[in-house]
Structure 1
Amino acid sequence: MEKKKNIIIGFGKGGKTLAKFLAQKGEEVVVIEKSNQMYGGTCINIACLPSKRLIIEAANGVEFTDAVNGKNEMTAFLRDKNYHMLADEPTVTVLDGEAKFIGNHQVEVATTDGQTVKYEGERIFINTGAVPVILPIPGLKDSPYLLDSTAAMDQKSLPKRLVIIGAGYIGLEFAAMFARYGSQVTVLDHNSDFIPREDDDISSAVKKDLEELGVKFELGVDIKQVINKEDHVEVEYEKNGEQLVAQGDRVLAATGRRANTENLGLENTNIKTDSRGNIVVDNYLKTSVENVWAIGDVKGGLQFTYISLDDYRIIKSQLFGDGSYNLASRKTVPYSVFIEPPLSEVGLTEKQAKKDGVDYKLFKLPVAAIPKARVAKNTHGLFKALVDPETEQILGATLYGLESHELINLIALAMKAKLPYTMLRDQIYTHPTMSEAFNDLFK
């Protein structure tokens, strides 16, 4: 059994960045990745970048099959770039194969060329990501018409009718995208409240705009079964005691993701997982086994590539810094949902502030009042921000509108720097831009 200084299981964002850093420090690293189609991780291959590429192409009027081909060219380029980023380092070994723990610090790898390699790692970093959840709906899992978020982006032709199970953020992104390409989209969800964590005025505006795009929502439904016909699929559901059917050429399961630990052999270790299968970590991403860490989606929590990157910073702080940076330091995390227009958020919503009894001053601005939105002919949406009346610091913001995915980072930066909202209000912005809306939002 070979002894290795560093073993990283999974070629994701946090793991690959850590591998590169360790290599530059002259340390030996083995990176194990079971699929040569996943060099670089989930984001560049099957999630953030390909999905946003398709979303942008839809808005630009590109045909679906042309957009998919262009997306594939992009991901192939990025995969190759990421592979060489590590493989060309003299102290890094990229091994194609599936890793399985056979002890707390021992890993067995079944390589893609049929060999078995065993390693003992001084340090081990688990970076295996997450996989889609398929609900136990009769007929769904084995349906020839079933798509998950990965397969949905690799269709050879555009589904004329698409049924999406799940009205969460992933489901909404796909609903907007396929509707833009011309699919007839029906979204089914068990929850009767639409994106319930958002403020009511925001969720109402989002739903209205998506319906205007052609998306049909059936909320508060109980899905009974999936029936596979010769040339289409039928999803039977019950709503208000009525038996209904949604027909489609494909059915997309967008019901969340879970930690990818099923075949990792954790039962052969003392590494603890929670009731949902996430690897349990402390404030420093350490598992219950000494010198074994978990990075990214596999540990649960927010599933964003930039969280995985920030996990790398926590590890770096421990190994080569003062160890002060940890999960407790991560307080201001923005996110965006790439629907049309995008929905972006950071910090408290008005709904959460009321629930928690937080005193706040509310600022609101319709996107229609922003000159750039008029220029771009996209006036949908609403900007909201909450401010602490005493400190004048921003408590949170919800930006639903054109370019909100860029603007939210300015808000997050102001929050992290503890700047008063007046800094954004009185800033001189170029014109016409969406950022100058802060002049009016914070009046």
Structure 2
Amino acid sequence: METEKRVKNLIIGFGKGGKTLAAFLAKRGETVALVEQSANMYGGACINIACIPTKSLIVEAEKGTDYPRAYEIKELLTANLRQTNYDKLAGLENAEVITGKATFSSPHEVTIQLAAGGQTRIEAERIFINTGSQPAIPPIEGMDSKNVFTSAALIAQVGRPEKLVIIGGGFIGLEFADMFAKFGTEVTVLDRHTRFLPDEDDDIAGELFKILTGKSINFLNGVDVEKVEELNAESVNVYFTHNGQRKSITANAVLLATGRKPLTDGLNLDAAGIQTDKRGYIQVDNQLKTNVPHIWAIGDCNGGPQFTYISLDDFRIIRNQLAGNDRYTSLNERQPFPTCVFVSPPLAQAGLREREAREQGYDVKVFKIPASAIPKAAILNERRGLLKAVVDAKTDRILGCMLCCAEAHEIINTVQLAIHAGVTYHALANMIFTHPSMTEALNDLFTAG
């Protein structure tokens, strides 16, 4: 049976940007239908299969919680957040949450195969696509093995593997390597790059490499993975080439951390006339509009940086447009943003790395201190790490900062604010911070030159 609805705004996907936009529009009196294909994904990937559950497991690992209990804590946390997100949106007067799979029928119409059965057709004045991304499965033989997992599939397992091979040495790969190593898993990371964290400066990458290998995590770089072969129900062999030699390693599980691709399967974008790039991401301008004037793409599916806080900033760009302010775009107003890999201790970064600054022609001052010099690091019993900042020698403005230390993910936001405000490094060198705190390390860092 098919029913029809007409709304002013249709949002496909319950991710950060989409749900925030839905609440904004509903509260200002506009009708909104938000379509999510799975009841297990209310609130989006972040709270269900990505940022929140992985960070929960990381925190419990650091506490020494055993894996079965950590899994229970993670499941309870995500279930509560999922329900809270649904209730907050479904409870709004002008909003409706529809669970089902959306497919474009025309530029203004979408057909939804309802999860409960049947279908409905929605006609909307504006449409916002917020479907996110999914793991990119590499063309390697054996990827269909039940012992090969994506990140979401691996944390859905009740038990942990005794031996884990991770294909890919980026942020996701490193976080899972560090986390499972703390739970007692034997971890090997196979990375195609010849250098560990090739985008980072050598000193910072070297410091984190020393920390992680000190936890008995095994790294092999410059690896070409050839195939995964099942040995029995509980183990596989991973075959690869390293330094010109063919090798293999046995594992109970293989994690694919080899990048992501847009989650637009089944949307039938052609029916709406929506253009995509060669990788399949929806093409948008700097106001996040597609080539179809009344359709926008928010978050991972538009090919921008794949972070929850970027999806939220996408919402801001659209909110301002709808309020008549077209000045705020992804090009001319979006702030540079920090990043962090949540290992222990975390590695956080904002602005330019030293290598990048020199390549761009800056005359730089470089400041460094070891994490062991920070009193709060001793209190936290986490003395490992290195803090580094890069400053424009001509203007004394902060160009970038790399923090590999306890609570780096928090400290970096203070530095990011200073970079955005355009203040000189003297402001942080002389700022009065609370004591003892990790942030006060900025006093010492910016006077270490």
Question: TM range, normalised to the smaller chain?
Answer: over 0.9
Note if 1:188 corresponds to 2:190: yes
Q: Give every structure 1 segment of 4 or more consecutive aligned residues whose post-TM-superposition deviation is greater than 4 Å.
A: none
**Secondary structure at the counterpart of residue 192 of structure 1:** coil
Q: CA deviation at 1:368?
A: 1.1
Q: List gaps (5 residues or longer) in structure 1.
A: none
Does the aligned pair in 1 maintain the 2:433–2:439 contact within 8 Å? yes
Note if 1:168 corresponds to 2:170: yes
Listed one character per residue, the Cα deviations across residues 151-172 of structure 1 (whole Å, up to 9, x for unaligned) are 1112221210001000111000
Q: CA deviation at 1:321?
A: 4.4
Distance 1:188 1:197 in 2: 17
Distance 2:157 2:176 in 1: 13
Aligned residue number for residue 69 of structure 1: 72
Distance 1:221 1:296 in 2: 32
TM-score (norm 1): 0.98
Distance 1:240 1:50 in 2: 36
Aligned residue number for residue 16 of structure 2: 13
366, 386, 389: which one pairs with 1:385? 389
110, 114, 118: which one pairs with 1:111? 114
| Aligned pairs for 1:261-300 within 5 A | 261-300=264-303
211, 221, 224: which one pairs with 1:222? 224
Note if 1:357 corresponds to 2:361: yes
Listed one character per residue, the Cα deviations across residues 321-372 of structure 1 (whole Å, up to 9, x for unaligned) are 4222111211320111101110000110011112222222211111111111
**Secondary structure at the counterpart of residue 40 of structure 2:** coil
Aligned residue number for residue 23 of structure 1: 26
Does the aligned pair in 1 maintain the 2:135–2:258 contact within 8 Å? yes
38, 50, 53: which one pairs with 1:50? 53
Moved more, 384-393 or 197-206: 384-393
Q: CA deviation at 1:285?
A: 0.5
Letter aligned with residue 42 of structure 1: A
Distance 1:389 1:201 in 2: 21
TM-score (norm 2): 0.97
Does the aligned pair in 1 maintain the 2:100–2:112 contact within 8 Å? yes
Aligned residue number for residue 352 of structure 2: 348
Distance 1:190 1:11 in 2: 34
Listed one character per residue, the Cα deviations across residues 66-112 of structure 1 (whole Å, up to 9, x for unaligned) are 10111000000000000011101111110000001111221111111
Distance 2:388 2:366 in 1: 7
Listed one character per residue, the Cα deviations across residues 123-146 of structure 1 (whole Å, up to 9, x for unaligned) are 000000000111110012x10101
Distance 2:254 2:396 in 1: 48
Distance 2:312 2:411 in 1: 21
Note if 1:78 corresponds to 2:71: no
Distance 1:386 1:11 in 2: 39
Instruction: Indicate the RMSD between aligned Cα atoms, in angstroms.
Output: 1.0
Distance 1:249 1:154 in 2: 15
| Aligned pairs for 1:321-340 within 5 A | 321-328=324-331, 329-340=333-344
| Aligned pairs for 1:373-412 within 5 A | 373-412=377-416
Letter aligned with residue 190 of structure 1: R
Sequence identity, in percent?
48
Q: CA deviation at 1:3?
A: 2.4
Q: CA deviation at 1:245?
A: 0.7
Distance 1:380 1:340 in 2: 9
Length, aligned pairs only: 442
Instruction: Evaluate the alpha carbon distance shift between residue 321 and residue 410 of structure 1 in structure 2; reply closer, same or farther with a 3 A threshold.
Output: farther
Letter aligned with residue 228 of structure 1: E
Distance 1:228 1:370 in 2: 48
Distance 1:42 1:127 in 2: 11
